[in-house]
Amino acid sequence: MIRKSIPFLAVLILGFAASAQADDWPEFLVSSLPNGQNDVDIFENTVVWEGSNSGLFPQGLEIYAYDLSTSTLQQVTNDTTAQRRPAVYGDIVVYDDHLNGDPSVHGNVYAYNLSTSTELAITNSSSANQWQAAVYGDIVVWQDNRSGTGDIYGYNLSTSTEFAISTAPGNQSTPAIYGDIVVWNDRRSGNWDIYGIDLSGTINGGAEFSIVTDTTDQGRPSIFENIVVWDDIRNGAGNWDVYGYDLATSSEFQISSNLASQNFSDIWGTTVVWTDRRNGDANFDVYGYDLLTSTEFAISSKAANQEMPAIWGGTVVWSDTRNGASDIYGATAIPEPGTLALMGLGLFGLAQKVRSKRRPEKH
């Protein structure tokens, strides 16, 4: 009886949330360092980003963290080299460390434990470039140029073990990870596609698999549970859209379709967020989409640029130039989107199981 009532409850709550989110979400300032901040990520109450307090760029870039629950700012790194592109999971922050601040020449991947204030070198190359790290649980993944082209490597924090994930021909870059699934950009066919692998071996016997291999470029994948989202230019040069793929049902679907560009997408639950240029190339905004209700909504459409959002639960964070230099802003849905509320109650999975019995499986 309860299981059958969940889909109706999901639609009821999501419908109310969609109507409540017609305007921008309520916003808050996270950080306003004087020399700009970018590349933000979020996990639960922890927001991380790269920023410069010295005026030097990119050599002066450091990693910062902010606890939304305690309003506490922490400078994670303080080095003469540049630390860039942080990602966070639990207490672990991973980032690139680049000599002279040049991300194209040489870099290594580091991890920092916020609870113990300890730093760990994940890679220690004096010549190759390891960068664009992501983390989930004990697994860190990154792009690695030790072979002369980009590959995807991983590291298990609990066993101190490094392992290759993809060393296919061409370049592999910008990995993302959720659970045992790693996805990345892949140019083995001459244009940028999206590939993945299941580290547990459940999908495709542990071999790499293609997610999208369109003849145009697809970029910057993100993943939550079975859903992969990415930026896609198949609809014309200069017109990036956001697409998605359900690993459980083998189905691809389009998420955004505005004639302007939408890119730098991210996902949590069934909420997808992205940078949106519908209001002009000098006025980027942050938009979102609920996959269950097929509802698009504005999250932040203030003057100047809001871009490169990240999402966790009902909170979205992004880089924002409304005050001149890039600051970090955030917004929280009030009320929370129904999807997120249901997931918090542990009901979303049940709703999905009931719904899955009513439609054929697809990839």
pTM over 0.75: yes
Compute the distance between CA of residue 17 and CA of residue 311 in angstroms, rounded to an integer: 17
Structure tokens at 291: 């996959």
Give yes or no for a contact between 206 and 165, defined as CB atoms under 8 angstroms apart: no
- Measured CA to CA, the distance from residue 65 to residue 77 in angstroms comes to 10
d(CA 209, CA 193): 11
Run means of pLDDT, 10 residues per run, the chain, 363 residues: 33 37 83 91 98 72 96 93 94 88 74 97 90 97 95 98 97 98 97 98 96 96 98 92 97 95 97 95 93 96 95 97 95 63 40 33 35
Q: How far apart, in whole angstroms, are the C-alpha atoms of residue 32 and residue 51?
A: 9
pLDDT digits (tens, 9 = 90+) for 135-190: 999 999 999 999 999 999 999 999 999 999 999 999 999 999 999 999 999 999 99
CATH number at residue 285: 2.120.10.30
DSSP-derived letter for residue 206 is: G
Domain count, the chain: 1
Of the candidates 251, 290, 226, 224, the one whose C-alpha atom is nearest the C-alpha of residue 11 is: 290
- Nearest Cα residue to 132 out of 104, 160, 167, 90: 104
Structure tokens at 126: 């004096």
Is residue 361 one of the residues assigned to a domain?
no
Q: Which residue has the tokens 């109310």?
A: 16
Identify the DSSP state of 26: P
Tell me the pairing of strands 181-186 and 172-178: antiparallel
Q: Is residue 96 part of a domain?
A: yes
Q: Kindly report the average pLDDT of the chain as a whole number.
A: 86
Report the alpha-carbon distance of residue 328 to residue 35 in Å, rounded: 12
Residue 289, in any domain of the structure? yes
Number of other residues whose CB lies within 10 A of the CB of residue 203 = 16
In a domain, 315, yes or no: yes
In which element (H, E) is residue 107 found?
A: strand 107-113
Q: Is residue 362 in some structural domain? A: no
Enclosing domain of residue 335: 2-356
